Amino acid sequence: MPSEYRVEVALDVPLPATFTYLAAAALPVGARVAVPFGTRRLAGVVTGPGDESADTAKLKAVDALLDDLPPLPASWLELVSFTAAYYHAPIGQVAATALPTALRGAAPVRLNDTRPWRLSSAGRLAEPPAARAKAQRALWQALSCGVLSKDAARAIAGQAGKLLAEWDAAGWLERVDTCWRDAPVAAGPELTAAQAAALAELRGTDGFAAWLLFGVTGSGKTEVYLRLIADTLAEGRQALVLIPEINLTPQLLSRFAARFPSTPIAALHSSLSDGERLNAWVDAWQGRAGIVIGTRLSVFTPLPRLGLVIVDEEHDASFKQQDGVRYHARDLAVWRALKARVPVVLGSATPSLETLYRVETGRYRQILLAERAHASASLPAVRILDVRRQRLAEGLSEMVVDALKAAKRRGELSLVFINRRGFSPVLSCGDCGWTSGCRHCHAKMVLHLSERRLRCHHCGAFEPVPHACPSCGNVDLKPVGHGTQRIEEALARMVPDARVLRIDRDSTSRKAAWDEIYRKVHAGEVDILVGTQMLAKGHDFPALSRVIVVNADAGLYSADYRATERLFSVLTQVAGRAGRADAPGEVLVQTQWPDHPLFAALVAHDTLGYAKTLLAERRIAALPPITHQAILRADAPDIRDANAFLESVRDTLAPPKGVTVLGPVPALMARLAGRERAQLIIESPQRAPLHAFLDAWRPDLDAAARRAGRSLRWSLDVDPQEL
């Protein structure tokens, strides 16, 4: 049979183009196909009609049309190609990222019918199982009362799968197409005046609108989301809810399930098997799920009846993918809402500067929830402890140890927060507060002990390491944020009889670990919790009377200009752990720089004011979000190979007016997993010339990488979140 048709197919290979194939019939755009590629057989997605100018002799034919599913929707393909264009990633790799694992392979996929059951008319006339078969009887009774999902059936009878199959074969059952438009919604708590006002404003729009829901910790943002979702479901439309991985807890999911008991919810969390994820994904795609709730990857779920998008904790760094296709789920979520002409709500207690800047420029609208939902819970009192010229034992001051001892005597739970993020060795003077700033730009210079010099990671300038403080002559210069390695042992030693529990990635890697930690804490078997980042968010601990931050300074002067923004955010969140119940909490922050404006804002709970300060700084320094950046990263076992690659591409193409290429400079984490990392920073006040430059540059990058050999790895990061 002659192959008269041609199609373009996107394949998961690191090549920028799509590939032209011959086909015996006109294949629909969005169809999944299997194609021969070299010696392999790969899965691909049809992106459009084939290139007619391609030489027929070189073309191969499509092998098979996979799946009996309908083709992927045009809106999904549009999202994939936008992502590929914006992040300068090969479209086939984006498509593979956007599909669930089960749909990435070249094997056809068969789907289970996941629709719930009810009794058919024959079933209603049939004899119920004997009363002594208790489980069978219970399952039958549940069916005769109404509709039953497979999960619900399994909860009633362990053998549900087998029984349902038998009864179905007997003709007693039928499938029900779910409709959530009239599904019941459980009553929620009464709204506060602020929540009601926020809701009224959010409901007042039609079509696309981007909102920042700016609410302090405990102000009840989730309740606002639930009410909006109820509106969306009542119109028969679907809601997409994006949540940081760490906040996507069973507690949160059961809160949604309890509010919408009969609405199918597709929860896309990390512990799903490939099959479960596929089912949830297809439920969303086929319009069977009313709510999709999940982490950044969920932004790619096709939703035919999308009516609302919510991004909770929109400032959270986990929305940015840090390898492969480096997309930002929050930004893509806003784009999706725009294309679907539906509202998007970005919620946060500490909004990102990107989002606040868009509020400032009028693109997003802001709604404030200024008070905690429980009138009795007030914001914690923050005290700044000046530790200059103090003797610190393992980073702990006497004041902090005394506070911990007093709390222990009163039987109260304290939290010692260790800020490990943003650590890079910036040199500082413990006497006068001098830090090693770069004389050519706004960045801090980083100590490179092996090279015995200071190096700027923004512009690349370097200087010898000073022997004494250039400002006051003190010879005892140290990297900021040093010396908190063995803090839990130190605590156990300095606070007699204190029961110290450490919480970090290691101690929580096992699944049962969290349950054990919760049990201990709730049973009052712990006096002091010690932990990093993980403790700042997501998990609710009761009656935290005191939060102590021992090394805030590590983020205060960092080579990464985003460090202060992140520090303020994490300190606000960890402070929010204190005093959530009836007792007002206290937060103690140790610092060598008590006069830093960050602390004044923290004490005053002035998130917005501090954000304005930071935005003003970014404007002066011409940094994001005022300007736009991309980073070309390279790593190799030998730094010279990475630098050689970056130098060879840096001058292949003259950047257009306004676009600046800086570097090569070392990455903030200059060495990782035995590889040395360096980068070029590309900056521009306008997005368009930046993207045009990256597009034109791409072939040069591919060519240079080929010349550089296999040991070199490289990637392009648009809107980087970390240096």
Partner DNA sequence: AGCACGCCGACT
Partner DNA sequence: GTCGGCGTGCTC
Kindly state the number of chain residues that form the binding site for DNA, as judged by CB under 7 A.
Answer: 21
Q: Which of these ranges, 11-19, 213-221, 456-464, 629-637, lies near DNA under the rule CB under 7 A? A: 11-19
Asked if residue 429 belongs to a known ligand binding site, the reply is yes
- Specify the residue, 326 or 537, whose C-beta has the smaller distance to DNA: 326
Contacting residue, 15, 85, 393, 468, with DNA by CB under 7 A: 15
645 binds DNA (CB under 7 A): no
Contact 282/111 with Cβ under 8 angstroms?
Answer: yes
Q: Is 19 in the site for DNA (CB under 7 A)?
A: yes
Among 25, 28, 36, 122, binds DNA (CB under 7 A): 36
Site for DNA in 189-218 (CB under 7 A): none
Angle at 279 between CA 275 and CA 281, to 5 degrees: 115
- Residue 151: C-alpha distances to residues 114, 273, 344 (Å): 10, 15, 31
Applying CB under 7 A, among 10, 20, 300, 424 the residue interacting with DNA is 20
The CA dihedral of 535, 536, 541, 545, to the nearest 10 degrees, is 110
User: Which residue, 354 or 717, has its beta carbon nearer to DNA?
Assistant: 717
Of 70 and 709, nearer to DNA (C-beta) is: 709
Three-state SS string across 571-631, please?
Answer: HHHHHCCCCCCCCCCEEEEEECCCCCHHHHHHHCCCHHHHHHHHHHHHHHHCCCCCCEEEE
470 or 637: whose CB is closer to DNA?
637
Contact residues for 489 (Cβ-Cβ < 8 A; gap 6+): 394
Q: What angle do CA 356, 359, 365 make, to 5 degrees?
A: 125
CA torsion angle 311 313 318 321 (round to 10): 30
| Three-state SS at 49 | strand
Annotated binding-site residue? 179: no
| Residue 40: CB minimum distance to DNA, A | 5
For residue 25, the minimal CB distance to DNA (Å) is 16
CA distance 238 to 289: 7
Name the token pair of 407: 């709390």
| Shortest separation between residue 12's beta carbon and DNA, angstroms | 8
Instruction: Report the SS3 class of residue 681.
Output: strand
Q: How far is CA 209 from CA 101, 198, 305, 328, 640, in A?
A: 33, 14, 17, 19, 49
Dihedral angle, C-alpha 16, 80, 50, 701, nearest 10 °:
-10
CB of 717 to DNA, least distance (A): 16
Considering the complex, state which of residue 250 and residue 324 has its C-beta at the smaller distance from DNA. Answer: 324
Please tell me whether residue 17 binds DNA under the rule CB under 7 A: yes
Q: Which of residues 304-323 bind DNA (CB under 7 A)?
A: none
C-alpha–C-alpha distance, residues 664 and 643, integer Å: 6
Choice between 56 and 112, CB closer to DNA = 56
82/78 Cα distance (integer angstroms) = 6
Cβ-contact 577, 544 below 8 angstroms: yes
Report the site for DNA in 49-108 (rule: CB under 7 A): 51, 54, 58-60
Nearer to DNA, 41 or 505 (CB): 41
- Per-residue binding string, DNA, 702-721, x by CB under 7 A, is -------xx--x--------
Q: Of 19-27, 73-81, 153-161, 623-631, which part binds DNA (CB under 7 A)?
A: 19-27
Closest approach of DNA to the CB of residue 401, in Å: 51
Is residue 145 a known part of a binding site? no
Handedness of CA 307, 313, 319, 320 (dihedral sign): positive
> Judged by CB under 7 A, which of 1, 2, 38, 496 binds DNA?
38
Nearer to DNA, 50 or 302 (CB): 50
Interface residues with DNA (CB under 7 A)?
13-15, 17, 19-21, 35-40, 51, 54, 58-60, 709-710, 713
Q: Which residues are annotated as a binding site?
A: 429, 432, 438, 441, 456, 459, 469, 472
Q: Which residues are annotated as a binding site for Zn(2+)?
A: 429, 432, 438, 441, 456, 459, 469, 472
